[in-house]
Amino acid sequence: MKNDNKEIKKVSKSTIALLIILIISAAVVLLTYRVLMNYPFFNIVMWVYMAIEAVFVLTYVIYNRGFSRKGVTRDMLPDDWSDEKKEEFIEDGKRRLHASRWMLVVILAFMFTFAVDILELFVFPTVLGWFSA
């Protein structure tokens, strides 16, 4: 049975391009991490990756002003503001979120690398230990 109340949104070409860039960058970041971990300075690599991740996450949150403008409607803003100021405030939040989308690619690529590392170091050995004698 069809549900006529739901709208199907089309995914924009820029979103698809961003997804492809995310997949490629995650693979490159993970591969670089794996290669660098084989060298004597491997202790530093993880800390450098963590620092890069922390800088990008903090920059993303600060640039987007703590997401304080996300989901804000005209009714939520002070009554003494003009309509132009309210519209500018809302549009600035949308513009900032859109302009900072590229930072999410970096953040998610590094998070993927850390997730794979955690799985490999902790989860897989534990699960495999359950099935070995």
pLDDT in tens, the chain (133 residues): 455 567 778 888 988 999 999 999 999 999 999 999 988 888 899 999 999 999 999 999 999 999 888 888 888 999 899 999 999 999 999 999 999 999 999 999 999 999 999 999 999 888 888 888 6
Q: Write the CB contacts of 87 (distance below 8 Å, at least 6 apart in sequence).
A: 74
Give yes or no for a contact between 63 and 100, defined as CB atoms under 8 angstroms apart. yes
- For the whole prediction, is pTM greater than 0.85? no
CB-based burial, 51-61: b 16+ in 10 Å, e otherwise: eebeebbeebe
Helical residues (DSSP H) of 64-100, grouped into ranges: 83-99
Closest-CA residue to 98 (of 13, 1, 15): 15
